[in-house]
Amino acid sequence: MIEMPSKVEGREYRLFDLEQSLKPIGYVIGGNWDYDHGYFDYKIDDKDGYMFYRVPFHAVDGQLDTPGCTVAIDRPFLLAHEYEADLDQNANAGTFNASFNQFQGPENKDAAVPDKYLETGKVLTAELESILLR
């Protein structure tokens, strides 16, 4: 993980407005959200795992599943996930289980971020600031 300092840190937005601004340019709300915090993820690469630019946020007014929730943005960062080269040895067989356990687990959830992505992170930070600081 490499932190990417940004002028949007600490700024508050309605979650709905953030979604309207970020989803059209390729961001998705990451699957690891909770009622009080979450992440907007922008997938940079998926060759040998996944490389993400992640924008964390936390609720300051309400819960994330509440209409009108206000969130504050935390420091964005680059995040790499490396995946096992072979099939997941812990996957369960069967039609029912296969629908839920079809993906292999990450070998390293916080892999080293290759230097070649630092410039991409800087560009994405500048883009994020230009969209959210209008």
Q: Quote the percentage of the chain above a pLDDT of 70.
A: 77
Domains of the chain and any CATH numbers? 2-82+113-133 (3.30.310.100)
Q: Check: CB of residue 23 under 8 Å from CB of residue 55.
A: no
Instruction: List pLDDT tens digits, range 63-72.
Output: 998 999 999 9
Mean pLDDT of the chain: 84
Q: Look up residue 132 and give its two tokens.
A: 């959210």
Q: Which of 86, 82, 88 is nearest to 103 (CA)?
A: 88
Q: What confidence category does residue 34 fall into, taking pLDDT thresholds of 50, 70 and 90?
A: confident
Q: Rounded CA gap, 104 and 107, in Å?
A: 9
pTM: 0.78
Report the half-sphere exposure of 87 (CA within 13 A, side-chain side). 8
HEC sequence for 9-66: CCCEEEHHHHHHHHHHHCCEECCCCCCCEEEEEEEEECCCCEEEEEEEEEEEECCCCC
Element holding 96 (H helix, E strand) = helix 95-98
Element holding 70 (H helix, E strand) = strand 70-73
Looking at residue 110, its pLDDT comes to 62
